[in-house]
Amino acid sequence: MTREQVLDLYFMDARCKLIELAAFLDRVDRSDGEGDFRLQSLRMALPLLSSSEAGRAKAVLEALSDPTLEPIPSANGKGACGAWPGIVSH
Amino acid sequence: MRYIEPHAHMVSRITDDYEAMRLAGCVAICEPAFWAGFDRSSAAGFYDYFCQLTDYEPKRAAKFSLPHYSWLCINPKESEDMGLARDVLGLIPEFLQRSNVLGIGEIGLNKNTRNELRILEEHVDLAARYDQLILVHTPHLEDKLKGTNLILDVLRADSRIKPGRVIIDHVEEHTVERVLDAGFWAGITLYPESKATPARAIDMVERAGMKNIWLNCACDWGRSEPLAVPRTAIEMSRRGHSREAIDHLVYGNPLRFLSQNPRFQIP
């Protein structure tokens, strides 16, 4: 596809998601209390969007991932939340 | 259009979904064993589940002329209890004789714990001893990268395992290359929020090539879309991919992997 064709197909969708993200950050700012590692992780990943290098999706996923190598002794629960809690101390 | 749905948890879906998938061009459905949304309290619960996967569900699919195949295991979400997991592992050989069973799956990791890893190794050993295909679940979200690396280590450490007979599912942009580079097949799962959207899935295929990749919807009791594969095929068409290329990805590739088990037949 040409760049023009990619824009024709996906620009409105990307625009929508960008505004949703901006609105989410405004919503967080308006709310009371402390944030947690999820917000910290998201803010750390945002500059990756401005990179001039390809592979931005991969870089964002890696930034939100547990980078450690060893299995953990046991699980505290079954679910995942989308960000690594250890980012706070890493 | 014709397609194979290689990963769908139909026990969690309504009968109308079978009809919709058939109408959209589905010609076969494969169902790996998974977590029911709650922990089963005994191996007897798994015995009944395996009967459902190998007896009842194929009959439900057959009402829509859809062949139904299954994969068996205890899901990593329940393998923290190693006693239960080993009891369930002991049940599996009996069910491997059933005519719609394709292999061991979806095994893998959830929170990347030591117990999960040990039970994964025992599933891999079972698959090797019975010469079974393997379908691997990689963990969710922040746990996927680490889990994928641990899973690759386990599979590569067992010299009996042939990478071409193993599919590692739920890959994303940060894991797809390492899976394919290691010689394994990769599955891309299409979900509304987590895993991959149709657009991202096609991006991955365009960058990595479509040699050993399949698409699946993994529809279950959570937010998921039974028609995600045909929707992605339409998205590929919008991007200008040829009818032949789409057929190769959504029909030819799963057919090629699954046909390694001669039980897999498209009527």
Residue B123 is assigned to a structural domain of this protein: yes
Q: Helix (H, G, I), strand (E, B), or coil: what is residue B196?
A: strand
Q: Check residue B242 and report its DSSP letter.
A: -
Residue B264 is assigned to a structural domain of this protein: no
Note whether B157 contacts A: Cβ–Cβ < 8 A. Answer: no
SS (HEC) of A2-36: CHHHHHHHHHHHHHHHHHHHHHHHHHHHHCCCCCC
Q: If you average pLDDT over residues A8-31, what whole number do you get?
A: 98
Containing structural domain, residue B73: 3-258
Residue A71: partners with Cβ closer than 8 Å, 6 or more residues away: B112, B113, B114, B116, B117, B150
Residue B60 is assigned to a structural domain of this protein: yes
Q: What is the pLDDT of residue A76?
A: 85
CATH number at residue B225: 3.20.20.140
**B115 chain-A contacts, CB cut-off 8 A:** 74
Note whether B206 contacts A: Cβ–Cβ < 8 A. Answer: no
CA separation for the pair B133, B128 (Å, rounded) = 9
pLDDT in tens, B59-95: 999 999 999 999 999 999 999 999 999 999 999 999 9
**B199 chain-A contacts, CB cut-off 8 A:** 10, 13
Q: Report ipTM (2 d.p.).
A: 0.96
Q: Give the whole-number percent of chain B exceeding pLDDT 70.
A: 100
The single residue listed with the structure tokens 């991919």 is B241
CB B152 within 8 A of CB B186: no
Nearest Cα of chain B lies from the Cα of A15 at a distance, in angstroms, of 15
**In terms of CA atoms, which chain A residue is nearest residue B39?**
A78
Residue B266 is assigned to a structural domain of this protein: no
**Residue in B39, B9, B185, B34 with CA at minimum distance from that of residue B106:** B34
**Residue in B218, B224, B248 with CA at minimum distance from that of residue B236:** B248
Q: If you average pLDDT over residues B138-158, what whole number do you get?
A: 98
In this model, does residue B98 exceed pLDDT 90? yes
Q: What is the pLDDT of residue A89?
A: 73
CB B175 within 8 A of CB B181: no
Q: How many domains does chain B have?
A: 1
Q: How confident is the model at residue B223 (pLDDT cuts 50, 70, 90)?
A: very high
In this model, does residue A90 exceed pLDDT 90? no
CA B70 to chain centre: 9
The single residue listed with the structure tokens 């057929």 is B247
